[in-house]
Copies of this chain bind each other. A is one copy, B any other.
Amino acid sequence: MVTFVSVLKYEQIKVNKALEHELAAMPAPLRDIVGHVLMAGGKRLRPLLTLLSARLFGAEGDGLYRLAVIPEMIHVATLLHDDVLDEAESRRGRKSAHLIYGTAPAILAGDALLAAASHRTASFGIPSLLTCVSEAVLMTAAGEAHEIALQHSLMHSLKEYIDIVAGKTGWLLKGSCRLGALYAGASEDEVEAVSDYGLNLGIAFQIVDDALDFADEAVTGKPTAGDLMEGKFTPPIMKYFEFLPNMDRERFREKFKSGGFSAEDRVRIAADIRRLGFDTEARAMADEYIAKAQACLDRLPHRFEQKVFREALEFVRNRKS
């Protein structure tokens, strides 16, 4: 764990420098709004995955940072668009870009960032990198659309939840790992192993995130049970709904459909979920994907980067906020 957090923090500095370089190359009318989100901090987990993956397979040098920023640019593009479509008020501690600059510039800034990420990818002259990046964008958008199609419905299954999560979060983490391996010229088996690692890491990450949605506000500093309002049928909510006596289900369903839970409802349901251990049970579901990711690591070279990949799994498992 010590190593993972140190490496993450250490690399953030160089990743941020490379991101500033990309920002400076953006067309003038979009630079401010892109910068507002691109340079607002963030863990830079995706660039780290790309760096680790490229180095694991023998690539080296400072040029790697130009590669590593690609998934972060895509990630930030999706954040810009997500904030518009969720009508979110803040992001990474700052007021949402669309509320400062307007909806239209926010949409265009996302488009421009997607294009800039493709442009940077093309600059390496390796077509497989582009296939990797465009697939990740496509599957991320599809995952989000799938989620929206099922929003405010209690009818779908755990399998559908996992499909959504694999799309909206897993594919870009997969793509981040894959990008580094393809760049470094890893073998087909190795590319697949590190891609599967990223996908399973991403699924676990999102499951933990959805469990943390019911954590105590006093601990996380974030409003609790936002997913109830947004009508996202996540594992803790699935378990809670199953637990409800029949007589209470209809009322819950109505509120879930309309996002009509009061602040008191949310605090009470979140407390119930914690008391009944449904958030802990949800986290245990993440362990299944962490185990799959670990098995992928066994197929990879036993080098320093592989060790950091292993610690990343612990980081995700133990995340408290």
Give A residues with C-beta under 8 Å from B: 27-30, 77-78, 81, 84-86, 102-105, 107-112, 114-116, 118-119, 121-128, 130-131, 133-135, 137-139, 141-142, 144-146, 148-149, 167
Contacts and interface: CB of A to CB of B under 8 A. Distances in A.
Contact of A27 (B122, B123, B142, B148): B142
B148 A102 contact: yes
Contacts of A103: 84-85
Contacts of A78: 111
Given A84-B103, A111-B141, 4 more contacts: A27-B142, A30-B145, A112-B141, A114-B115
B142 A118 contact: no
Contact of A112 (B116, B124, B145): B145
A27 B104 contact: no
Given A126-B127, A148-B102, A108 B85 contact: yes
B138 A108 contact: no
A134 B111 contact: no
Given A30-B141, A103-B85, A130 B115 contact: no
A81 B144 CA distance: 16
A85 B126 CA distance: 35
Nearest to A110: B111
A114 B113 CA distance: 12
Nearest to A116: B138
Contacts of A77: 111
A93 to B, nearest CB: 24
A145 to B, nearest CB: 4
Nearest to A118: B134
A166 to B, nearest CB: 12
A118 B137 contact: yes
Contact of A127 (B28, B114, B122, B135): B122
9 closest Cβ pairs, A-B complex: A27-B142, A122-B130, A85-B104, A115-B137, A118-B134, A119-B134, A29-B145, A115-B138, A112-B141
Given A104-B85, A109-B145, A123 B115 contact: no
A143 B84 CA distance: 20
Contacts of A144: 104, 108
A124 B122 CA distance: 12
A107 B108 contact: no
Contacts of A27: 138-139, 141-142, 145-146, 167
A25 to B, nearest CB: 9
Given A108-B81, A111-B81, A130 B145 contact: no
Contacts of A128: 122
Given A29-B146, A104-B148, A130-B130, A137 B122 contact: no
Contact of A84 (B107, B114, B167): B107
B112 A142 contact: yes
Contacts of A123: 127, 131
